Amino acid sequence: MKNLQTLFGVTKQELIAVFFIATGLIAGVCIKTLFRNESEYSSHNEIADEIYRQLDSVATVQQETYTGVDEQGNALDTALYNKTAEGKIEAEKNKVPKTVNINTATKAELMNLPGIGEKTAEKIISHRKQYPFKQISDIMNIKGIGEKKFEKLKQYITLRNNQ
Ranges of each domain in the chain? 2-65, 95-158
Q: Which pLDDT value is given to residue 12?
A: 83
Cα distance between residue 76 and residue 96, in whole Å: 23
Cα distance between residue 90 and residue 103, in whole Å: 29
Q: Which pLDDT value is given to residue 50?
A: 78
Q: Which pLDDT value is given to residue 157?
A: 93
SS3 75: strand
Buried b / exposed e along 132-146 (16+ C-beta atoms within 10 A):
ebeebebbeebeebe
Q: Which pLDDT value is given to residue 163?
A: 44
* Superfamily of chain region 95-158: Photosystem II 12 kDa extrinsic protein (1.10.150.320)
Cα distance between residue 115 and residue 110, in whole Å: 10
What is the chain's pLDDT, residue by residue, as a tens digit (163 residues)?
777 777 777 788 888 888 889 898 898 888 777 776 655 556 667 777 778 777 777 666 665 555 566 666 666 555 555 666 766 666 665 555 578 899 998 888 888 888 898 999 999 999 999 999 999 999 999 999 999 999 999 999 999 865 4
Biggest CA–CA distance in the chain, Å, is: 85
C-alpha pair distances (Å), 148 with each of 44, 111, 137, 139, 140: 69, 17, 12, 12, 10
Enumerate residues 6+ apart whose C-beta is below 8 A from 130: none
Query: By the 8 A CB rule, do 113 and 149 touch?
Result: no
SS3 57: helix
